[in-house]
Each structure stands twice: as structure tokens, then as C-alpha cells.
Structure 1
Amino acid sequence: MPPRSGASDADGLLAEQLFRLTRRLFRIHKQHLVPVGITPAQSRLLRTVSHCAEPPRMADLAERLEVVPRAVTSLVDALEESDSVRRVPDPTNRRVVRIELTDNGRATLRALRDARRVAAEEILAPLSADQREVLGELLATLMDGAPRRCADG
């Protein structure tokens, strides 16, 4: 049975609210990253590297981040310049390059976590503790259908 028109309209409105919230989250998060000196894309790459059991290959990062390999190269170049990551040879195949965090990269991740926490507090301020718990449960339900990756951070 097809959805009722009213349900379809309500779902469309809900989707629009989620899109607007996502843009707002991104904007607030980006503002809190400025003092850390890192872009959202660089932040995502650092978090991805930090969640992998072993230093990932560049191709693995491109796949996990759902970007073209050239984009990963640019991100790694910038993060390597700021001493947040380093390229290391694969111990079993010298033609393969892996990316690992540096001590500075780990410090940057700590600053990122703090920035994300402050941004989350700002966006969630209107909600009570109970409402936050319900929201978390609803988001977890929606994310259960999402594919799992090494790290989305």
C-alpha cells in the first residue's frame, strides 16, 4: 500500500529539517575547527586514520572517505606539512605507502574532540538530558542501516 499523501509530506518535511540541521552542524563544527587550524576534510581523514587497526594505505583512505585518490593525496600532503601524519612504507610491499599519525596528529585529534564536544553542546543546548537520550536512540536506529567502515569518526 503506498504511503498516504500526508505521511509523504510529513516525511519530506522531516527530511528537510534533517538536511537543515546537518548544514547547521557542519557550519558550527567548522567554526570550532578554525582555532585548531584544520579543515573538516582534514579532520575526517585524521579520525579515519586514528580508528584503523594498522596504518591504512592511501587507496584504503580514499575508499573509506568515498573520495578520489587525488583528494586523499592533497589531504595527506597538507597534514604531513603540519606534521600531523607521515607516510611510511608498507613492511611487506615497498611500493605501498601507508599513513600513520604523528604525536602532533594525536594532539590535534584531542583538540578536535574538544572542538566537536563544544560544537555539540552548542547545537544540543535546547534539549534536556532526556530529549538528548531519545535523540541518540533515534539516530542509532537510523544509523543501524548504514554501512560500517573502519572509521567515519
Structure 2
Amino acid sequence: MSIEASIEKLERLTSRVWRTNSKEDPLGHLSFNEYDYLKAIQSSAEPIRLTDLATELEVSKPSATNMVKRLERKGLVERIACLEDARSKRVRLTEKSRVPLSSEAHIYAIVATKLRAKLDESESDQLNQLLRKALS
């Protein structure tokens, strides 16, 4: 089986787990880009500067600003003053987006458990190492 087919099967497995384990998806109405922005903001250890968010997502600063404004209107993020630079703003998730994004960890844990069930410990470690390498 090709890597493309394997990736597709993994995506289908993840979709099935979402359907069977998530009562409703409160963020399901978001576009892929909106969701990607939220995940980038979530992955930052502290509120992220707009410039850093644009760099992380490989978009222009005006594009990042427009998307953050859209997410802000939906109540999913908020902009706060940057203590280091008064001209800059930082972005963080609101409770409205933080809770559903945190609950996703449960879904991915189920997918990981299903994958581990077919592998021994060594294979599981190897898969993890290969995925980290390929996705870095």
C-alpha cells in the first residue's frame, strides 16, 4: 500500500472516531483555515504575537490580522496588549474555543489507542519517531 493510501486510511479512521465519540462538534462550522489558526494559537505556550502567528502559518501579517478579527467576532479569540511592545498585540483563545479544542485530545487518544493495538511497543515507538521526523 502506498503512503498516500495509508494517510487516507488514517484520515478515515480519525473521521470514524470523531463521528462515534463526539456528541456534537461545536467548532464544526469553522473553515479549515479558521480551525488551523485556532490550533496554532492553542499550540503557543503563551498568547502569540500576530507577527509570530503569521510566520507560523506562513501567511502575510494582513492576512493573519483579518483572520484574527474574524475569529474575534465569533468570540473564539481575543487580542490583548503586548507588554514588550505597545504597538503589538497578542492573541489567545477564549473559553468558547478552549474547551472544545481541549476535548479533541480525547479523540486523538482513541485513534492512538486503536493504532497501538495493532503494533507491539517497539513498532509503536518507531511509528512515533518516524511521524515526528516526517512532520518536523
TM over 0.5: yes
5+ residue gaps, structure 2: none
Q: How many aligned positions are there?
A: 130
Task: State the Cα deviation string for residues 105-152 of structure 1 (Å, max 9, x = none).
Answer: 21232354456567x48xx86x6714386664343222343575xxxx
Change (3 A) 1:146 1:104: same
Contact 2:116–2:124 (Cα < 8 Å) also in 1: no
Letter in 2 for 1:99: V
Identity of aligned residues (%): 25
Q: 14, 19, 22: which is aligned to 2:2?
A: 14
Change (3 A) 1:101 1:24: same
Q: 1:9 is matched with which residue? A: none
Q: 26, 30, 49: which is aligned to 2:41?
A: 49
Letter in 2 for 1:14: S
In 1, the alpha carbon distance for the partners of 2:48 and 2:108 equals 24
Instruction: State the structure with bigger RCO (CA 8 A, min sep 6), 1 or 2.
Output: 1
Task: State the Cα deviation string for residues 73-130 of structure 1 (Å, max 9, x = none).
Answer: 3431222112111111211211111101222221232354456567x48xx86x6714
Change (3 A) 1:141 1:15: same
In 2, the alpha carbon distance for the partners of 1:69 and 1:22 equals 33
Paired residue secondary structure (1:88): strand
Instruction: Please tell me whether residue 36 in structure 1 is matched to residue 20 in structure 2.
Output: no
In 1, the alpha carbon distance for the partners of 2:94 and 2:104 equals 15
Contact 1:89–1:98 (Cα < 8 Å) also in 2: yes
Instruction: Please tell me whether residue 139 in structure 1 is matched to residue 127 in structure 2.
Output: yes
In 1, the alpha carbon distance for the partners of 2:102 and 2:6 equals 28
Instruction: Please tell me whether residue 62 in structure 1 is matched to residue 54 in structure 2.
Output: yes
Query: Structure 1 residues 35-44 or 89-98, which shifts more?
Result: 35-44
Instruction: Please tell me whether residue 88 in structure 1 is matched to residue 80 in structure 2.
Output: yes
**Structure-2-length-normalised TM-score:** 0.65
Q: 79, 89, 92: which is aligned to 2:71?
A: 79
Report the structure number with the largest CA radius of gyration.
1
Change (3 A) 1:147 1:22: closer
